Chains A and B, each alone.
Chain A
């Protein structure tokens, strides 16, 4: 059964606006969460991470929010740029190991 879910397969946002990508998980043992970005014909690249001791982590235009009680995390991109158009994967792992569980991804399109 899938433990990390990205329920929106695609998202379209205008340049300059905020992009919000969502991710839900079911395993309460997950303690470390990551977002990866993937362009066509390339491997995923690490974007940003958050551990469960925090509820927010920011890196430039990218902010990840974690709501442990709701088992939900989101990635905010502000302002969105056309170069942000890619597939975004949410991933999670338990603290004690490294069995990264990935979601199916959300395809983001940022239009000029």
Chain B
């Protein structure tokens, strides 16, 4: 499989649930990202990992917890979310965080918090 793969594609969870989003990239890239896309808002950067080290955290609430076990895999652990966290969560990778190279996005996970 090529590119960036995200699972699941759709997720419905209650406010007390714990779930995880998974992302895998097959491009040999060194940097991985989580973005959030809410309705009628620009894509918002949540987390950046470069060579498995978190290098950026854009003031994201602690109910979102990222994990990057290796350069090909990225997780977003979710717990006690709020309904306003319902959004499309996109994973992306790039060759290198410091080189201006394009992001390659997965197809996203559509999250609904009930």
A contact residues vs B (CB 8 Å cutoff):
2, 4, 31-32, 34, 36, 41-46, 49, 51, 89, 91, 93, 95, 97-105
Contact = CB atoms under 8 A, between A and B. Distances in A.
Contacts of A95: 100
Interface in B55-111: 56, 90, 92, 94, 97-98, 100, 102-108
A102 B42 CA distance: 6
Interface residues of B, number: 23
Contact of B107 (A31, A42, A46, A101): A42
Contacts of A49: 100, 102
Interface of B: 4, 6, 31, 40-43, 45, 48, 56, 90, 92, 94, 97-98, 100, 102-108
Given A43-B108, A98-B98, A100-B43, 13 more contacts: A4-B42, A31-B100, A43-B6, A43-B105, A45-B105, A46-B102, A97-B98, A98-B48, A98-B100, A100-B45, A100-B103, A103-B42, A104-B42
A41 B107 contact: yes
A22 B30 CA distance: 32
Pick from A41, A91, A100, A101 the residue with the most CB of B within 10 Å: A100
Contact of B40 (A36, A44, A45, A104): A104
A104 B43 CA distance: 7
A93 B100 contact: yes
B10 to A, nearest CB: 10
